[in-house]
Structure 1
Amino acid sequence: MRFRRARTRWTTLILGALLAWVSAAAAGEEFQVQRLDTRLDDEGGYRLSAEIDYAFSAEALEALDNGVPLTVLVHIQVRRSGAWLWEDSLADLQLRRAIRYKPLSERYQVYTLPDTEGRSFVSREAALRALGELLDIHLLSADRLAADSDYEVRLRTALEIEALPLPLRPMAYLKPAWKLSSGWTQWPLRP
């Protein structure tokens, strides 16, 4: 009887931990890549345009409205389709973009780091839309792709916790509401 109760307790603990882990993982997937397009430009290079929906948590939006800039890291790779994990990417780009609220002017600002000036917006919604717009990002030149191979563009984005002010970081590391990312999304790229 005692063994059965102990086993039931352990099973309940394990299921509870698993449920907490799954809900934390689900909470961490708040960003979504809505659209991704690639095109060949006149100079013989591939360019990427994308639209990302940044659905920040209530805690992150409250911090933003209180003057804390939020930085997202956009990671873009071009890889051979079916490439092994250890194979090098043909292109590996990391863009850091930020959004901040300026209380004196009552405006939101979106910019690409290392710049500190960018586009200004009256509403938070318009600024978040602009944060998610990637336009004509140079990926690589077309001569790096073999005509007989298939390739894919991979993109993911995540809130960069290390860019938060130091007093906010411990809480951001511990709370699932701050672990915001999109996970990898893939699209075919054909030469």
Structure 2
Amino acid sequence: MSQRSPYHPRRILPAVLLLVPVLLLGSFASAAAKDGLRVEQVETRLVDDTFFMDALLDYRFSSEALDALENGVPLTILVQIQVRRVGAWLWEDSRVDLQLRYAIRYKPLSERYEVYRLPGDEGRSFVSRDAAMRALGEIADLALIGASSLDADTDYEIHIRASLDIEELPLPLRPMAYLKPSWKLSSGWSKWPLTP
């Protein structure tokens, strides 16, 4: 009596059927991973006694967020910036703790995108969404801290995080935004050296 091969089609088929959903989930997850916010570059320079910062952030909103933008819903980005001692404990105070808010909106009548810093509603205007998104991710000449207020023998670093501010969405959108992962967009904290 011959023994059935472990590679018999009747044994392989159930395994393949179980594997297909896993592969599909993996492809959806990799597609979703393309969405998100990322801090790509941070540079600092010392001018006279003040440290200034330039930063480049990459904003890849989910399709739901982009649909809302195209329908006239402004999207607000919260950028948190801290200057901390290298190796500081969590409970140590930051030397700097800034919260910057930026917004992007689409104006259907003029078919233009606007990027502006809050508070206020006046900003730069763009014909294309890509150009507006690039401008949204640029922080230039931000005064951080006076060099004389830092300890000369201590190394410092910048901690920076960007996130989509769900609280600024119109009230009817908020419950869905709290429940769906596609709205919970954040870069997470990243660290960059504070150098002259």
- TM-score category by the smaller chain? 0.7 to 0.9
Aligned to 2:47: 41
Q: Which amino acid aligns with 1:125?
A: D
Structure 2 residue aligned with 1:139, among 137, 144, 149?
144
Residue pair 1:29, 1:181 contacting (<8 A) in 2 also:
no
> Displaced runs of 4+ in structure 1, greater than 4 A?
26-29
Structure 2: distance between partners of 1:154 and 1:168: 30
Q: CA RMSD in A?
A: 1.9
Aligned to 2:73: 68
Identity rate of aligned residues, in percent?
66
Aligned pairs (5 A) from 1:1-191: 30-42=36-48, 44-190=49-195
What secondary structure does 1:35 align onto?
A: strand
Normalised TM-score (structure 1): 0.84
Residue pair 1:76, 1:93 contacting (<8 A) in 2 also:
yes
What secondary structure does 1:88 align onto?
A: coil
Structure 1: distance between partners of 2:195 and 2:128: 39
Structure 2: 5+ residue runs without aligned partners?
A: 1-21
Q: Which amino acid aligns with 2:172?
A: P
Q: What whole-Å deviation, never above 9, does each CA across 1:151-184 have from its counterpart, x for those lacking one?
A: 1101000000000000000000000000001000
What secondary structure does 2:82 align onto?
A: strand
Structure 1: 5+ residue runs without aligned partners?
A: 1-15
Structure 2: distance between partners of 1:122 and 1:151: 40
Q: Which amino acid aligns with 2:77?
A: V
Between the two proteins, the alignment pairs up a number of residues equal to 169
Structure 1: distance between partners of 2:33 and 2:71: 22
Normalised TM-score (structure 2): 0.82
